[in-house]
Chains A and B, each alone.
Chain A
Amino acid sequence: MEGLQTVGSALLTLGLVAVAVALSLYERLDLEKDIGVAVVRSFVQLAAIGYVIDFIFGLDNLGLVALLLAGMVLFAAWTSARRAERVPRAFLMAAVAVGVAAVATMGVLLTLRIVPPTARYLIPLGGMVIGNSMNAASLTMTRLRDDVAEQRPKVEAALALGATSRQAVAPILRTALQSALIPLIDATKTTGIIFLPGAMVGMIIAGADPLEAVRLQIVVLYMLLGSVSIAAIMVGTLSYRSLFTPRHQLRTAPPER
């Protein structure tokens, strides 16, 4: 394979980032600091995980793989909970949802022998499941929190008509889940026509047989669709409860007296 092998060429792509920073400064978008943080963090984090994965590949110990994935779940839950501030117990709910999604999908992949039980498969696939589930959990919780606050009169009116909190929140929960899942569903629908997924592009660039790349990509897509749906629905079902008391009352105080 030619090209793309040195750290130098990776650094050259920073030129593009410099253009983005220049544009941000020129247009006063106030994004240059965020872009800078993103560049540094992604470099440090990817380099670190590269060494960690390299180390774990060397040991080929499934216990360590599980430990690493568990660490990823906790970090994902922490990130998600920070997004969903003012949602009671957000960390716990995100950890449960992302954890269950990861265990369920990795469990299916392993028991049906769709992928071999090696670190080389489990870590990248697990990372994708956890990352995508995290995004879905954050979106579901923030949307649910904001819409319940905004549509408070409707929620209260439903409760006053004898609706349970579940019944009162049902339309809002539906919208929150749709907003969390539709981007992935649409991306899955249009795969291959509008965009080529990153993993597949990576494999093809690395010299793999395109059909082999497609086979893996299909596994990845179905795995993501399943795990993200599980995570969003679980976090939705858990978090709407945290916005109500067991007596079907909204937890936040009404706006007027």
Chain B
Amino acid sequence: MGRPKLEVRGLRYVAGGTEILTGVDALVPDGEVTAVVGPSGAGKSTLLRAINRLIEPTSGEVYLDGQPTRSLDPLELRRRVGMVFQIPALFGGSVEEAVLYGACLSGKDADLGRLLEMVELDVSLAGRDPQALSVGQQQRVSIARTLALEPEALLLDEPTSALDEAARRRIEELVRDLNTRLGLTMVFVSHDLAQVERVADRVVVLAEGRSKGTWDREDFFSNAGERARRFIAGRL
């Protein structure tokens, strides 16, 4: 395992009197795809939001390259650790505006053609209304707009849950491809074990707001990980 890009230590999050994360420890190695799996309600989405501080952890730490994220400006942190959501939620009247939204805010020069090519969208779509695209295409636009900020790591919150099987496979291939081409570190939330086997290098299991261990993919999908897999499958 390489050095950790992200490290989560003793993370807790309490909202409205409910403890949603009760103690999460996890390592996300640099340049690898780490899947976070667990039954729904386990706190997977909350964990991602706590990593880029869309929500403020109640206690515990998240380190980015060994530096506590509490010491970073949240806006800078979110540009360095991008996030892709379940629902694309695109802005602007054209694909071009949608892709360049974040880059424009931070005054970054972004190459629209290259970004669209990276997510395998045709440049001729640049002027189209993003709402007129298929949901799968919209999700690729939302990945492109995150890549426009040249993030060091990418958090993906069940990015294929709104997609059909074909579109889901294309996003999975895109994730593997971006990881290979850019060496991008990724955290991929999923509740689909077959998908995790196709996408992830490592697996973090989360249940009831607590981390239940970390496996290499090979171990997780061999006899060694059988109990963990049964545990998740039994709760799905």
Taking beta carbons and an 8 Å cutoff, which residues of A are in contact with B? 153-154, 156-164, 167, 171, 245, 247-250, 253-254, 256-257
Q: Please state if B45 and A254 are interface contacts (CB–CB under 8 Å).
A: yes
> Counting CB contacts under 8 A, is B23 at the interface?
no
CA distance A247 to B52 in the complex (A): 11
Please, which residue of chain B has its CB at the minimum distance from the CB of A161? B102
In chain B, positions 46-62 with a C-beta closer than 8 Å to chain A are: 46, 49, 52-56
Q: Is B146's CB within 8 Å of the partner chain A?
A: yes
- Complex: chain B residue closest to A156, CB-CB: B54
Contact of B74 among A156, A248, A253, A254 (CB under 8 A): A248
List the one stretch of B24-32, B76-84, B111-119, B225-233 in contact with chain A: B76-84
Q: Do A254 and B55 contact each other (CB < 8 Å), given the known contacts A161-B102, A161-B149?
A: yes
Cα–Cα distance between A81 and B232 once the two chains are bound (Å): 47
Known: A249-B53, A254-B55. A160 touches B42 (CB 8 A): no
Residues of B within 8 A of A247 (CB): 53, 56, 74
Tell whether, in the assembled complex, residue A253 and residue B15 are in contact, meaning their CB atoms are under 8 Å apart. Answer: yes
- A172 CB to closest chain B CB, in angstroms? 11
Task: Identify the stretch in B2-10, B85-93, B168-176, B210-218 within 8 Å (CB) of chain A at 4 or more residues.
Answer: B85-93
CB distance from A104 to the nearest CB of B (A): 33
Q: Is the CB of A153 within 8 A of B78?
A: no
Would you call A161 and B105 a contact (CB within 8 A)?
yes
Tell me which residues across on chain B come within 8 A of A254, comparing CB atoms. 45-46, 49, 55
Contact status of A249 and B56, CB under 8 A, knowing A161-B146, A162-B75: yes
Residues 123-164 of B, flagged 1 when their CB comes within 8 A of A and 0 if not, give: 000000000000000000010011001000000000000000
Distance between B95 CB and nearest chain A CB, rounded to angstroms: 15
Contact A161 B145 (CB under 8 A): yes
CB distance from B151 to the nearest CB of A (A): 10
A161 contacts across to B, CB distance below 8 A: 78-79, 82, 101-102, 105, 145-146, 149
23 interchain pairs, CB-CB under 8 A: A153-B85, A153-B87, A156-B85, A156-B89, A157-B142, A158-B91, A158-B101, A159-B78, A160-B85, A161-B82, A161-B102, A162-B75, A248-B74, A248-B75, A249-B56, A249-B74, A253-B15, A253-B16, A253-B55, A254-B46, A254-B55, A256-B40, A257-B43
* Known A156-B89, A158-B101; further 19 A-B contacts with Cβ < 8 A: A153-B85, A153-B89, A154-B91, A157-B85, A157-B90, A157-B142, A158-B91, A161-B102, A162-B78, A163-B105, A171-B91, A249-B53, A254-B45, A254-B46, A257-B20, A257-B40, A257-B41, A257-B44, A257-B45
B106 contacts partner chain A, Cβ-Cβ < 8 Å: yes
**Do A162 and B102 touch across chains, with their CB atoms under 8 A apart?**
yes
B71 to chain A, nearest CB (A): 13
Q: Is B91 a contact partner of A256 (Cβ separation < 8 A)?
A: no
CA distance A167 to B40 in the complex (A): 32
Cα A171 to Cα B52 in complex, Å, equals 23
